[in-house]
């Protein structure tokens, strides 16, 4: 009986030890990286590449959790942007933050797989996917992998943001009116997120005055904290000097 109790006790201790190690591993990040949720939990997150609601149509390699991971300085500056926006009943919404290097290669492989589907054309209505790399929409090495680049938008907290993606519905492409395209629970920027089209360029002339005003408002709010917009994507911003080496660690779940 003593031997049996000793074996059970040893097994229990080993199980607890494994659980502790696994839990610690589940939220371990390289030095300098943080979960944005730990810096500012009020910033809304909708990490699209951890889901199937993106231009590839499935979760990308390395996205083990739908969490925004950034360099600490980036997180602190986002917090400052959010504090200013909150007084205007607005919020940031994050679509992508740190991106594992393997996810960028996953995008490149997708662009070269020789298939053009209706789902692809929701995001690339006029540009063949094989051209996305040459035109600068996809890169084998992304600034996102440094932890200093972001994809984001604005949310009007007074508006009805309850519309959700319905997998059974056929949506129009990303340049269509907001009520016809994939819902994003955010202000109408003139195109959906990840829209590889001239209309997605930040200074596009083909959008209406309200949409143009929202883009300018987002760019101005981010610029106050040093973020720079990428002219071909109204949603993409980076913080010069905060990046450095590119990383390829997978995004682990955050422990509450």
DSSP 251: B
233 catalytic residue (yes or no): yes
DSSP 101: H
151 annotated ligand-binding residue: yes
CA–CA gap between residue 208 and residue 212 (Å, rounded) = 6
CA–CA gap between residue 175 and residue 125 (Å, rounded) = 8
What DSSP assignment string belongs to 27-50?
T---TTEEEHHHH-TTSEE--GGG
H/E stretch holding 104: helix 101-111
CA–CA gap between residue 69 and residue 88 (Å, rounded) = 26
Strand-pairing partners, residue 230, are 233
**Cα four-point dihedral sign 195, 197, 200, 202:** positive
75: Cβ–Cβ under 8 A, 6 or more apart, which residues? 34, 36, 38, 39, 40
144 annotated ligand-binding residue: yes
Instruction: List the structure tokens of 14.
Output: 């080993």
**Residue the block writes with tokens 């610690």:** 24
CA 49 to chain centre: 7
Catalytic residue among 116, 131, 179, 233: 233
Binding site residue list for Zn(2+): 144, 151, 236
Binding site residue list: 144, 151, 236
Catalytically active residues, by annotation: 233
């Amino acid at each position: 009986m003593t031997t049996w109790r000793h074996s059970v006790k040893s097994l229990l201790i080993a199980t607890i030890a494994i659980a502790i190690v696994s839990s610690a591993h589940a939220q371990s990040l390289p030095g300098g990286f943080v979960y944005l949720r730990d810096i500012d939990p009020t910033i809304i997150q909708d990490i699209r590449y951890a889901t199937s609601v993106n231009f590839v149509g499935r979760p990308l390699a390395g996205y083990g959790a739908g969490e925004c991971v950034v360099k600490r300085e980036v997180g602190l500056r986002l917090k400052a942007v959010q504090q200013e926006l909150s007084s205007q009943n607005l919020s940031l919404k994050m679509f992508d933050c740190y991106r594992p290097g393997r996810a960028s290669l996953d995008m490149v492989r997708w662009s070269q797989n020789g298939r053009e589907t209706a789902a692809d054309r929701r995001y690339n209505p006029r540009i063949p996917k094989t051209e996305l790399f040459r035109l600068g929409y996809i890169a084998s090495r992304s600034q996102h992998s440094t932890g200093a680049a972001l994809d984001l938008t604005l949310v009007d907290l007074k508006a009805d943001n309850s519309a959700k993606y319905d997998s059974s519905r056929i949506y129009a492409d990303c340049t269509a009116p907001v009520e016809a395209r994939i819902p994003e629970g955010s202000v109408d920027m003139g195109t959906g997120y990840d829209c590889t089209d001239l209309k997605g360029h930040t200074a596009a002339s083909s959008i209406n005055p309200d949409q143009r005003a929202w883009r300018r408002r987002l760019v101005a709010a981010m610029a106050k904290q040093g973020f720079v917009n990428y002219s071909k994507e109204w949603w993409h911003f980076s913080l010069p000097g905060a990046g450095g080496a590119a990383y390829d660690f997978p995004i682990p779940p955050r422990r509450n």
